[in-house]
Amino acid sequence: MTSTPQTYFPDGFLWGGATAANQIEGAYAEDGKGLSIQDVMPKGIFGAITDEPTADNLKLEGIDFYHRYAADIALFAEMGFSVFRFSIAWSRIFPLGDEAEPNEAGLAFYDRVLDELERHGIEPLVTISHYETPLNLARTYGGWVNRDLIGCYERYVRVLFERYGHRVKYWLTFNEINSVLHVPFMSGAIPTPREELREADLYQAVHHELVASALATKIAHETNPRIQVGCMVIAMPVYPLSPNPDDVVAAMDADHANLMFSDVHTRGTYPGYALRLFRERGIELDITDADRELLTNTVDFVSFSYYMSSCETADPAKKAAGEGNLMGGVPNPHLPASQWGWQIDPQGLRVVLNQFWDRWQKPLFIVENGLGARDELVEVDGIPTVVDDARIAYLNDHLVQVGEAIADGVNLLGYTTWGPIDLVSASTAQLSKRYGFIYVDRNDDGSGTLARYRKKSFAWFAEVIRTNGASLVRS
Ligand code: BGP
């Protein structure tokens, strides 16, 4: 192992971490907040949706960021963060999602968060909708299948841009918008079970979100031309399982299903392969002329999460489903996997950065990447900590590949690790699936003091930031 002599990361590169309101805030019923879909998903995407919030739902209390935000942000500042990604809980601002007037106490909370970030010179990166649609919009309207959600979302974003537009430059419209095809309730607030949903309804929901996203971009630019709006997608490069051309075409098709979302966001129109899919599967979408006009409001940058790549094959016998960031795929025999079965592929990040840059020529932003792993709190020199060498190795190896992509000419604005502080998992709703540089004393059974402890990776990441990537180690 030798240290890289120089860094490829440009001056002004944004370094930080990313979170979502429903996974950290807690205070699920405080200061007028309404219920969100997460408040009735105690087991994440793997369990039943409950009628009411139940005590086994760890998200109701989260890691209590709602009350501890100032101390947590101070820890991020100690690591040298120049950016912090968080989401606004829609149900704090519009408890039912369809009111005419917003909830002032909810707005005031994010004023306080922004004050704190400003005090530390940390740039906010705000996700408008991160898997936490107001529950009423699911139960009464049927979620994003219903066109009325565009109007509810419009009211919400107008309030956000008016209130925070002068102090938040970077905005993301929908977290992992392409996940609606895979997890319709969590992503699209669609209560109909996946197997009972018609494909046409699913793509109609996709269309409504794409229109809402473009509308948000339009409103943002009208409110304040300084605002930069990005789409946010799951990036998962799809490799052919073999060089058999049948597998190559199968991989291309699977890749298209992901790329379509950013194609629309960056080009303002549906690509030919999507129109073909709609045609051949008999999907007739309700797309108005006004929708087409709105879609031309394209994004300023493309942001994405990256955890893993996947493989595709045309051979049904080999199509055993793998596990992975909401989307699965066929496991790659060349790659190791995390404790949760997510395959680890640092080079895939370089591949996807190049693919996205070549394809769209828009600035990119990596807004999620990290290793979910079990951690053990130990004492080193009398101080409680976690020796998380596997997490350090994971992040180091991915960041080396990010450096390679920058050297390839990719225009990258920044990098935020997922969950810089331990938080509740989106897919499994566990706390034991930890991503943080900061350990939070809370367990899957809800026990724990909520105390925070710096892990070994805390000092490691601080050094990466301090040296702007020069401390990274190539193997
Ligand atoms: C993404 C989500 C995040 C986050 C992350 C890790 O899909 O945008 O909300 O949680 O994945 O996933 P998990 O929490 O399931 O480990």
Structure letter (DSSP) for residue 113: H
Res 328 pLDDT > 70: no
Separation of 93 CA from ligand 1 center, angstroms? 23
Model pLDDT for residues 426-444, shown as the tens digit of each residue = 999 999 999 999 999 999 9
Spatial separation of the C-alpha atoms in residues 119 and 197, rounded to whole Å: 47
Whole-angstrom distance, CA of residue 426 vs CA of residue 223:
32
List CB contacts of 20: < 8 A, sequence separation 6 or more. 86, 87, 127, 130, 131, 132, 175, 423, 426
Residue 325, pLDDT > 60, answer: no
Angle at 44 between CA 43 and CA 48, to 5 degrees: 60
Specify the amino acid at residue 253.
D
- Residue 64's pLDDT is what? 98
Instruction: Evaluate whether 270 touches 264 at the Cβ level (below 8 Å).
Output: yes
> Do residues 262 and 356 touch, judged by C-beta distance below 8 A?
yes
Please state whether beta strands 238-240 and 170-172 pair in parallel, antiparallel, or not at all (unpaired): unpaired
Paired tokens of 319 = 């199509």
Chain-centre distance for alpha carbon 3: 31
SS3 307: coil
Instruction: State yes or no: pLDDT of 1 exceeds 60.
Output: no
Instruction: Tell me what the mean pLDDT of segment 234-240 comes to.
Output: 97
Encode pLDDT of 378-406 as tens digits: 999 999 999 999 999 999 999 999 999 99
DSSP state of 318: G
What are the residues whose beta carbons fall under 8 Å from the beta carbon of 164, sequence distance 6 or more?
110, 111, 114, 126
Mean pLDDT of 310-320: 87
Strand partners, 41: none
Lookup result for tokens 């950013």: 262
Residues with CB under 6 A from ligand 1: 20, 175-176, 305, 325-326, 368, 372, 418, 425-428, 433
* In the predicted structure, residue 3 carries a pLDDT above the cut 60: no
Over range 124-130, report the average pLDDT: 99
Instruction: Give me the count of residues in the chain.
Output: 475
Q: Supply the pLDDT for residue 317.
A: 84
Q: Is 264 in contact with 294 (CB distance < 8 Å)? A: no
- Specify the higher pLDDT residue, 431 or 47: 431
Q: 439 C-alpha vs ligand 1 centroid, how far in Å? A: 17
For residue 327, the model assigns a pLDDT of: 67
CB of 99 closer than 8 Å to CB of 137 = no
Question: What is the predicted pLDDT for the residue at 323?
Answer: 57
- Between CA 443 and CA 440 the distance in angstroms is 9
pLDDT in tens, 339-372: 999 999 999 999 999 999 999 999 999 999 999 9
Q: Across the strands, what pairs with 240? A: 312
Annotated catalytic residue 116: no
Give the tens place of pLDDT for each residue, 184-197. 999 999 999 888 99
Of residues 292 and 321, which shows the higher confidence score? 292
Check whether 326 has a pLDDT greater than 60. Answer: no
Among 234, 325, 344, 369, say which to mutate for ligand 1: greatest number of ligand atoms within 8 Å of CB. 325
pLDDT at 319: 78
Cα separation, 189 vs 206, in Å, equals: 12
Closest among 326, 287, 283, 329 to 309, alpha carbons compared = 329
Cα three-residue angle 175-176-180, rounded to 5 degrees: 110
Please, which pLDDT band fits residue 324 given cuts at 50, 70 and 90?
Answer: low
Nearest CA, atom 5, ligand 1: 426
Are the C-beta atoms of residues 44 and 424 closer than 8 Å to each other?
no
Mean pLDDT of 146-164: 98
Give the amino acid at 369.
Answer: N
Q: What is the pLDDT of residue 321?
A: 62
> Which of ligand 1's atoms lies nearest the C-alpha of 175?
8
CB 130 within 8 A of CB 20: yes
Number of Cα atoms under 13 Å in the Cβ half of residue 10:
12
Measured CA distances, 263 to 181, 233, 391 (Å): 16, 11, 33
* Centroid of ligand 1 to alpha carbon of 424 (angstroms): 9
Distance from residue 116's CA to the centre of ligand 1 (Å): 25
Q: Which two tokens stand for residue 249?
A: 């075409």
Q: Measure the CA–CA gap between 426 and 3, rounded to whole angstroms.
A: 35
Which among 25, 116, 132, 176 is annotated as catalytic?
A: 176
The amino acid occupying position 72 is D
Quick one: average pLDDT of 314-329? Answer: 71
Q: What pLDDT does 6 receive?
A: 78
Of the pLDDT bands very low, low, confident and very high (cuts 50, 70, 90), residue 316 is: confident
Per the DSSP assignment, residues forming a β-bridge with 301 are 230
- At 104, list the tokens: 């002032």
Q: Active site includes 176?
A: yes
Mean pLDDT of the chain: 96
Look at residue 109 in the predicted model and tell me its pLDDT.
99
Q: Alpha-carbon Rg of the chain, whole angstroms?
A: 21
pLDDT score recorded for residue 195: 86
Residue range 99-121: mean pLDDT, rounded: 98
Integer CA distances (angstroms), 300 to 83, 103, 360, 459, 463, in order: 18, 30, 11, 33, 30
Question: Which residue, by CA, sits nearest to atom 12 of ligand 1?
Answer: 426
Predicted confidence (pLDDT) at residue 4 exceeds the cutoff of 50: no
Tokens representing 290 are 């006004």
User: Rounded to an integer, what distance in angstroms lies between the CA atom of residue 435 and that of residue 78?
Assistant: 18
CA torsion 41-43-47-53 (nearest 10°) is -40
- Tokens 């971490």 correspond to 17
Q: What is the number of other CB atoms lying within 10 angstroms of the CB of residue 288?
A: 10
User: What pTM, to 2 d.p., does this model score?
Assistant: 0.97
